[in-house]
Amino acid sequence: MRILSQEKSTICLENVKTQNRCFEGDISPSVLIETPQKEVNQETGNISGFKRFRFKNLFVKPSPLPCLSWASSDDVWIKMLNKELKYVHDKGFIQQHPALQPKMRSILLDWLMEVSEVYTLHRETFYLAQDIFDRFMLTQKDIGKDQLQLIGITSLFIASKIEEIYPPKLQEFAYVTDGACNEEEILAKELVMLKALKWELCPETVISWLKLYSQVDSLKDDANFLIPQFSQETYIQITQLLDLCIMDINSLDYQYGVLAAAAFCHFTSFETVHKVSGLTWDSISSCVRWMNPFARAVREWPKPQLKDFKKVVTEGRHNIQTHVDYLAMLSEAHDRQQDSLDRMSPLAVAGILTPPKSTEKPANA
């Protein structure tokens, strides 16, 4: 199907700056970051086989992970946090493409979710495709709207080869574009995108953070951490909120771990969020407030139900990406956002700083 023919709209865009926060009681590990090889000076001696590194101090929150039998929980946690810094996303990419509008991205992601459900792709596959798309667009300039569907379907093609055991065939990805993209174009664009992204394809996505938080919250003392313990019903409600939020380009203002924590907070409590993520209220409060109209819009729609998929076991149903009329839901959320802004505006208060009409002025004025 062909997509992305919508009326033009404008949006104010700000650059996002990634900051490291230092919280009370935090640990401060040193992370080794490789630097180009240089000759070893005489003071240090000639140590063959060793690479030279510089140190980068990261102020990270203590790991909320339980003790793991297969790895150090601190090491796993630090690697996840490092990925938040390494894989940068920024809504400012839209400024680099004058022909594009934020709504076009929303339409594209909605379509990718629909394709994902048709081919029974996992949620992780869709969210990896979303991340690949956003990061690729950040590396480019002057992309036309006629290229968006090709970039989107190629992102899903790449993600499915990484995440799916049996990914759809190349011709199936071309087929769902209804002739807009052929197989040769997808393969050519795949190579362009992989080079632009420097083959960095393993971020911690929004959904991987949510699964972690859900598992830590539900884990019993003697349970296997790798086996899901959380409620599937609650999980798909939270994922529906994240599906809706990720379609809004302003979601890229926040790190994925913060987005997942804010969504989790809307269905649990801050105390629970703090326990499973280590995040402070100051770290997530802005995102929680931004997410309020989206959460209200989700609650006004029918509660999501677990779907049965052919060849998908009951225990894995919640992992399959689903699709509802997210564009209509997004429109409702944006209306709620605008209503909130109107109520906060001083102009909404009648009679303030409004001079009387000239005909109503006193005669002796």
Confidence of residue 38 (pLDDT cuts 50, 70, 90): very low
Flag whether pLDDT at 39 surpasses 50.
Answer: no
Mean per-residue pLDDT over the chain, rounded: 82
Residue tagged 């996303």 (tokens): 89
For 127-177, what is each residue's pLDDT tens digit? Answer: 999 999 999 999 999 999 999 999 999 999 999 999 999 999 999 999 999
- Per-residue confidence (pLDDT) for residue 1, from 0 to 100: 60
- Contact between 152 and 107 under an 8 Å Cβ cutoff? The reply is no
> What is the helix (H) or strand (E) element at residue 260, kind and residue range?
helix 256-265
Query: Per residue in 236-282, pLDDT tens?
Result: 999 999 999 999 999 999 999 999 999 999 999 999 999 999 999 99
Q: Domain residues of the chain, as ranges?
A: 93-196, 205-341
Number of neighbours of residue 168 by Cβ within 10 angstroms = 19
Pick the more confident residue, 359 or 195: 195
Report how far residue 91's alpha carbon sits from residue 137's, in angstroms, rounded to the nearest whole number.
Answer: 10
- 283 membership: H or E segment, kind and range: helix 281-300
Residue 39's contacts (CB-CB under 8 Å, 6 or more residues apart) are: none
pLDDT at 24: 37
Q: Which of 8-17, 193-202, 249-258 is least confident?
A: 8-17
The per-residue pLDDT for 210 is: 96
> In whole angstroms, what is the distance from residue 350 CA to residue 139 CA?
47
User: What DSSP state is assigned to residue 67?
Assistant: P
Fold agreement (93-196, 205-341):
yes
pLDDT at 219: 73
> For 151-155, 160-164, 296-300, 313-317, which range has the lowest pLDDT when averaged over its residues?
313-317
Q: What is the pLDDT of residue 358?
A: 52
Q: Quick one: how many helices (H) and strands (E) in the chain?
A: 12, 2
Rounded Cα gap, residues 95 and 228, in angstroms: 41
Q: Assess whether pLDDT exceeds 80 at residue 76.
A: yes
**205-341: in CATH 1.10.472.10:** yes
Residue 64, CA distances (Å) to 83, 102, 132, 228, 265 in order: 17, 36, 28, 17, 16
Which of these CATH numbers, 3.60.20.10, 1.10.472.10, 3.40.50.720, 3.40.50.10860, describes 93-196? 1.10.472.10
Q: What is the pLDDT of residues 87-138, one digit of tens each?
A: 999 999 999 999 999 999 999 999 999 999 999 999 999 999 999 999 999 9
pLDDT bracket for residue 217 (50, 70, 90): confident
pLDDT at 53: 34
**For the chain, what is the largest distance between any 2 Cα atoms, rounded to a whole number of angstroms?**
97
Answer yes or no: is pLDDT of 17 > 50. Answer: no
